[in-house]
Structure 1
Amino acid sequence: MNKWILSILILLVLFSCKTRKTVEQNTEGKDSIQLQKPNDNKPIDVGENVHDPVTFYEKVYIHPQFEYLKISSKITADNIRVSPLDAIIYIETDKKIYSSINFLFINAARALITPEGIKAMDKYNKNYIDSDFEYLNNLLNVNFIDYKNLEKLLVGRTFFTIKGSNARITQNMQGYQLASISNIKIATGETTREYKIVLQYSPEYDLIQVKLQDANSDDSLEIIYDGWETYQNEIRLPKNVKIIIKGTKNSQILLENTKFEFSRMDTRYSVPSNYKKIELND
Structure 2
Amino acid sequence: MKKWISLLLVTTVILSCKTRKNAMQNASDNDSIKIENAGDQDKTDDGKNISDRLTFYENIYIHPEFNQMKINSKITADNLRVSPLDATIYIESDKKIWSNINFLFFNAARAIITPEGIKAVDKYNKNYIDSDFEYLNNLLNINFIDYKTLEKILLGRTFLLVSNRNSEIKKNEDGYQLSSITKQKIVTNGVEREYKLNMRYSNDYDLIYVKLQDVKSDDAVEIVYDQWESFDNNLRLPQNVKIIIKGSKTSQIVLENTKFGFTKMETPYSVPANYKKIEIK
Q: Which residue of 1 aligns with 2:254?
A: 254
What is the distance in 1 between the residues matched to 2:187 and 2:233?
A: 38
Maintained 8 Å contact 1:180/1:197:
yes
Maintained 8 Å contact 1:70/1:90:
yes
Kindly provide the CA deviation profile for residues 122-166 of structure 1, in whole angstroms up to 9, marking residues without a partner as x: 111111011111111111111001100000000000000111211
The correspondence of residues 8-27 of structure 1 with structure 2, limited to 5 A, is 8-15=7-14
Gap runs ≥5 in structure 1:
17-48
What is the distance in 1 between the residues matched to 2:180 and 2:162?
A: 7
Between 49-58 and 76-85, report the one with greater CA deviation: 49-58
- 1:15 CA drift (Å): 2.2
What is the distance in 1 between the residues matched to 2:233 and 2:134?
A: 37
Maintained 8 Å contact 1:223/1:242:
yes
Kindly provide the CA deviation profile for residues 77-118 of structure 1, in whole angstroms up to 9, marking residues without a partner as x: 001110011010000000000000111112111000000111
Matched, 1:62 2:41: no
Q: Which residue of 2 aligns with 1:222?
A: 222
CA gap of 1:50–1:156, structure 2 versus 1, over 3 A, is farther
List structure 1 runs of 4+ shifted beyond 4 angstroms: none
Q: Which residue of 1 aligns with 2:85?
A: 85
Maintained 8 Å contact 1:207/1:225:
yes
- 1:250 CA drift (Å): 2.4
Q: Which residue of 2 aligns with 1:134?
A: 134
Residues paired across the two proteins, number: 248
Q: Which residue of 2 aligns with 1:185?
A: 185
What is the distance in 1 between the residues matched to 2:110 and 2:122?
A: 7
Q: State the TM-score, normalized to the length of structure 2.
A: 0.85
- 1:65 CA drift (Å): 0.9
- 1:272 CA drift (Å): 1.1
SS in structure 2 at match of 1:80 = coil
The percentage of counterpart residues that share the same residue type is 65
SS in structure 2 at match of 1:272 = coil
Maintained 8 Å contact 1:141/1:248:
no
What is the distance in 1 between the residues matched to 2:2 and 2:173?
A: 45
Matched, 1:97 2:97: yes
What is the distance in 2 between the residues matched to 1:236 and 1:258?
A: 13
Maintained 8 Å contact 1:166/1:181:
yes
- 1:248 CA drift (Å): 3.6
